[in-house]
């Protein structure tokens, strides 16, 4: 635990300080706060030092400011500036860079008397939590302020209280009001499956329809459809309580599209006497979205807003033929993007020592003539992808605004590698698939007459950026059936019993046409497996909801004898979310991953010295509860366990706190440096940070090696057996004996 040293700060309010007649007001943007601070600094009358964890009580008169000099702290924040004017307290802060353009900030007003904010300098850097309260009294602002890196139980409870206050204060907003009014008018409830089309009829101002959603990738809980005399409303209510959607003037347009996460909520309607017939679909299928755009554009021609029809058809053209948006790059543009990319890698890539056979200087000489050749955008991005794949790093990649250069249409099958074989793991039972007799567990041996391994080595592997063979196969195998949309592909199939047959299937448009859904139902899942064993799936560390869900279930978890944690579907996010969960599973501090980053020094290079490294050491994860769960823990991992999910597994494994069961993890984590060239046409990332076990063992480029390895067979897949979970239960039971 950090040692917290209390320092009391009192601000005297004087009558002679300088003031601002018309202060610059920040608009919550980076540049605005920088300009704002330049003026506000003229009103600073008292400056004090500040240490992390201490609470400061400030008293500010209108037009006065105070500065807290933030002493050495893990977050990198250098100073805090408070300014009071127009019944609002502005808080600006900046990191330890020597430029005032780095200011960020927030504000407190009478309607927002208590709040918090999380901030950090880099994506993987430590978080700093700011807590502040504001009370206007006698013309002055009374402010309580505290900054901390570690959240206590009291802090987490305070955050929940603040968020509840925000929720209540927003209850009267127009969207929430409309949603509540629609709920009051619900006359019919229907069970809704993601991707299906539902047709309903409503009477404006009289009734509404509620679609109760089954598990879906966007976590939509309910969909409300209703209408007033002028507007038709479609709102998707998520499990988190947030609402997506809106209203459209149903007499002027025949439908609406709303983005919900990675999916589209599509509504089309027709007037029948005093009723409105609505056709609704929530889907992430590109082909369905394009078709709906076409239908909506055609229908809109007879409506007053004819420009709406043209706009819709334009968007359909873009979705159907995205290449039309991107004219061919000139030779100069291709060379510029490549050289800038090459230089970005040269001076920032953290893992050159993991590819000792690669000479990056030679790569420039080899690829520059290829880049200069006349070629299409697709061929160019494939060439750059091939170049970046030489680095063999899953956190280093390149992309373009027009795609990855590879075809994306495919039959509705999910393909995975099992023992070096292409195995069908999921299917969508279309009429074509039913007649083909393809089943989960079948092996695809040939595609259009070519052996699968030959296809992979020549057409797919060269363009995959991956740190390990298992990471490469995870991306490569699903692509073996990809090709031009609506084209046919011939497959040679071998069943688990050894029977062989040939089938021909149609490639459907859009990468999201892979309807067998491999994404988890939600970021957190809890199951009681019986015999005192609890099982939680942590499917993402993308946001704090996974921590909140774990904490909500912690009482049930703490009553279990043993715990299984499944991170096989966790592709990462923020390491701090994983660390927050670890903090409830330990009674003493344990080290997180150790990290280092290249430290380029021009003079050292001139002197011929070896590459220098900055060693960041290991962050310490401290217990966060007086009653942690201390029973045996088994963690399930696999090739999809990646990035922050690996950062979660390593501390538990290194400390002996958990037994690891499953297959090798993806073996890729770190801090990517994002880049963008040619006005965003070419973008990507370069890994700048190497993570290791606390004792220096490597897992990047290798993968976390399980204590107990389990590899599902085609027969297991055909039988829908989760042999990894079965082995995890077996291992845990042996520890409970």
Q: Is 430 left (phi over 0), alpha (psi -120 to 50) or beta?
A: beta
pLDDT confidence of residue 511: 38
> So what's the pLDDT on residue 723?
95
User: Can you tell me the mean pLDDT for 171-181?
Assistant: 70
Q: Residue 27's closest CA among 102, 93, 106, 99?
A: 106
Residue-wise pLDDT tens digits, 251-286:
777 888 888 877 888 888 888 888 999 999 998 777
Percent of the chain scored above 90 by pLDDT? 44
Q: Cα separation of 242 and 189, whole Å? A: 20
pLDDT at position 274: 84
> Considering only 14-18, 393-397, 557-561, 570-574, which range has the smallest mean pLDDT?
14-18
Average pLDDT of the segment spanning 294-313: 61
Strand intervals (E) in 71-127: 77-85, 88-95, 104-108, 114-119
- Rounded to an integer, the average pLDDT of 636-665 is 96
Contact 651, 585 (CB under 8 A): no
Percent of the chain with pLDDT over 70: 83
Model confidence at 47: pLDDT above 60 = yes
The Cα 670–Cα 723 span in angstroms is: 30
Q: What is the dihedral of CA 714, 716, 719, 722, to 10 degrees?
A: -140
Contacts of 104 (CB under 8 A, 6+ apart): 30, 33, 92, 93, 94, 119
Q: Comparing 217 with 718, which gets the higher pLDDT?
A: 718
Q: Which residue has the higher pLDDT, 350 or 93?
A: 350
Over 50: is that where the pLDDT of 14 sits? Answer: no
pLDDT of res. 314: 58
Give this prediction's pTM: 0.65
Cα–Cα dist 630/561, whole Å: 9
Q: Where are the beta strands (DSSP E) in 273-388?
A: 275-283
- The pLDDT, as a whole number, for residue 449 is 94
The 8-class DSSP code of residue 458 comes to I
Strand order in the sheet with 114-119: 55-60, 140-148, 128-137, 114-119
Position 3 scores a pLDDT of 26
Mean of the pLDDT values across residues 234-245?
82
Q: Domains (ranges, CATH) in the chain?
A: 30-169 (2.60.98), 174-320 (no CATH), 327-517 (2.30.42.10), 524-667+703-736 (3.90.226.10)
pLDDT higher than 70, residue 29: no
pLDDT at 644 over 80: yes
| CA–CA separation, 461 and 445 (whole Å) | 17
Distances (CA, A) of 408 to 4, 412, 430, 478, 686: 55, 12, 19, 10, 25
Handedness of CA 571, 576, 577, 583 (dihedral sign): positive
Determine the pLDDT at residue 504. Answer: 93
- What is the spatial distance between Cα 480 and Cα 452, in angstroms, rounded to a whole number? 7
What per-residue confidence (pLDDT) applies to 125? 53
How sure is the predictor about 60, in pLDDT bands with cuts at 50, 70 and 90?
confident
Tell me the average pLDDT of the chain: 83
Look at the chain and count its residues.
737
For 277, the token pair is 């017939």
**More confidently predicted of 113 and 725:** 725
Question: Residue 479: its pLDDT value, please?
Answer: 92
105, 110, 113, 118 alpha-carbon torsion, rounded to 10°? -20
User: Residue 409's pLDDT band (boundaries 50, 70, 90)?
Assistant: confident
Average pLDDT score over residue span 280-295: 79
pLDDT on residue 290: 75
Alpha-carbon distance of 635 to 710, in angstroms, equals 13
Residue 623's pLDDT band (boundaries 50, 70, 90)?
Answer: very high
> pLDDT tens-digit profile of 491-525?
999 999 899 999 999 887 643 434 444 566 678 99
pLDDT at residue 429 tops 80: no
Task: In whole angstroms, give the CA distance from residue 638 to residue 568.
Answer: 5
Q: Output the pLDDT for position 80.
A: 86
Give the per-residue pLDDT at 706: 96
71-78, long-range: CB < 8 A, 24+ apart = 73/128, 73/147, 73/149, 74/126, 74/128, 74/149, 75/119, 75/120, 75/121, 75/125, 75/126, 75/127, 75/128, 75/147, 75/149, 76/121, 76/125, 77/119, 77/121, 77/128, 77/147
Mean pLDDT value across residues 557-577: 93
């Amino acid at each position: 635990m950090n040692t917290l040293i209390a320092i009391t700060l009192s601000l005297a309010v004087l009558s002679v300080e300088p003031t601002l007649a018309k202060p610059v007001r920040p608009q919550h943007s980076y540049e605005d706060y920088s300009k704002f601070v330049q003026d506000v600094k003229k009103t600073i009358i008292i400056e004090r030092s500040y240490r992390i964890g201490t609470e400061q009580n400030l008293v500010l008169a209108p037009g006065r400011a105070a500065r807290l000099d933030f002493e050495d702290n893990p977050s990198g924040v250098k100073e805090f500036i408070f300014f009071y004017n127009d019944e609002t307290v502005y808080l600006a802060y900046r990191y330890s860079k020597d430029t005032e353009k780095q200011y960020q900030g927030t504000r407190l007003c009478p309607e927002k008397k208590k709040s918090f904010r999380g901030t950090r300098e880099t994506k993987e850097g430590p978080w700093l939590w700011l807590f502040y309260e504001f009370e206007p009294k006698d013309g002055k602002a009374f402010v309580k302020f505290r900054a901390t890196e570690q959240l206590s139980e009291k802090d987490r409870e305070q955050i929940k209280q603040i968020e509840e206050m925000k929720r209540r204060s927003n209850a009267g907003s127009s969207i929430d009001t409309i949603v509540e009014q629609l709920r009051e008018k619900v006359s019919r409830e229907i069970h809704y499956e993601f991707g299906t089309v539902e047709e309903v009829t409503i009477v404006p101002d009289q009734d509404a329809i509620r679609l109760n959603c089954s598990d879906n990738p966007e976590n939509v809980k309910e969909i409300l459809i209703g209408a007033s005399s002028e507007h038709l409303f479609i709102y998707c209510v998520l499990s988190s309580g947030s609402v997506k959607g809106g209203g459209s003037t149903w007499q002027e347009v025949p439908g609406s599209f709303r983005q919900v996460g990675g999916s589209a909520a599509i509504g089309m309607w027709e007037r029948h006497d005093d009723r409105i017939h609505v056709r609704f679909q929530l889907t992430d299928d590109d082909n369905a979205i394009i078709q709906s755009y076409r239908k909506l554009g055609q229908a809109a021609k007879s409506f007053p807003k004819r420009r709406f029809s043209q706009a819709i058809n334009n968007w359909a053209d873009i979705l159907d033929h995205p290449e039309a948006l991107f004219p061919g790059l000139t030779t100069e543009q291709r060379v510029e993007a490549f050289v800038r990319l090459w230089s970005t890698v040269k001076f920032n890539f953290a893992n050159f020592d993991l590819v000792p056979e690669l000479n990056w200087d030679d790569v420039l000489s080899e690829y520059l003539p290829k880049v200069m050749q006349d070629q299409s955008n697709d061929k160019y991005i494939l060439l750059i992808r091939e170049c970046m794949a030489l680095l063999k790093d899953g956190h280093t990649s390149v992309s373009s605004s027009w795609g990855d250069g590879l075809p994306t249409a495919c039959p509705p099958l999910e393909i995975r590698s099992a023992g070096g074989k292409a195995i069908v793991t999921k299917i969508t039972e279309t009429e074509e698939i039913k007649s083909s007799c393809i089943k989960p567990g079948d092996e695809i041996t040939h595609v259009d007459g070519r052996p699968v391994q030959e296809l992979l080595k020549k057409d797919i592997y060269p363009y995959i950026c991956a740190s390990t063979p298992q990471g490469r196969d995870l991306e490569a195998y699903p692509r073996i059936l990809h090709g031009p949309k609506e084209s046919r592909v011939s497959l040679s199939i071998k069943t688990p019993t050894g029977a062989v047959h040939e089938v021909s299937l149609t490639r459907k448009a859009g990468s999201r046409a892979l309807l067998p859904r491999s994404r988890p139902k939600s970021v957190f899942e809890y199951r009681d497996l019986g015999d005192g064993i609890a099982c939680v799936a942590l499917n993402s560390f993308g946001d704090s909801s996974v921590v909140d869900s774990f904490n909500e279930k912690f009482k049930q978890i703490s009553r279990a004898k043993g715990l299984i944690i499944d991170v096989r579907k966790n592709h990462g996010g923020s390491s701090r979310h994983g660390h927050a969960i670890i903090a409830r599973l330990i009674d003493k501090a344990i080290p997180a991953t150790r990290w280092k980053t290249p430290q380029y020094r021009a003079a050292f290079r001139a002197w011929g010295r070896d590459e220098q490294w900055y060693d960041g050491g290991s962050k310490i994860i401290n217990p966060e509860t007086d009653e942690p769960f201390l029973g045996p823990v088994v963690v399930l991992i696999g090739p999809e366990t990646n990035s922050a999910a690996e950062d979660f597994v390593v501390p538990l494994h290194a400390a002996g706190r958990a037994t690891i069961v499953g297959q090798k993890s993806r073996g890729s984590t770190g801090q990517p440096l994002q880049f963008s060239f040619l006005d965003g046409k070419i973008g990507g990332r370069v890994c700048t940070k190497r993570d290791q076990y606390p004792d220096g063992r490597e897992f990047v480029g290798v993968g976390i090696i399980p204590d107990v390895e389990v590899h599902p067979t085609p027969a297991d897949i055909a039988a829908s057996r989760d042999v990894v979970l079965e082995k995890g239960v077996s291992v845990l039971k042996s520890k409970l004996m």
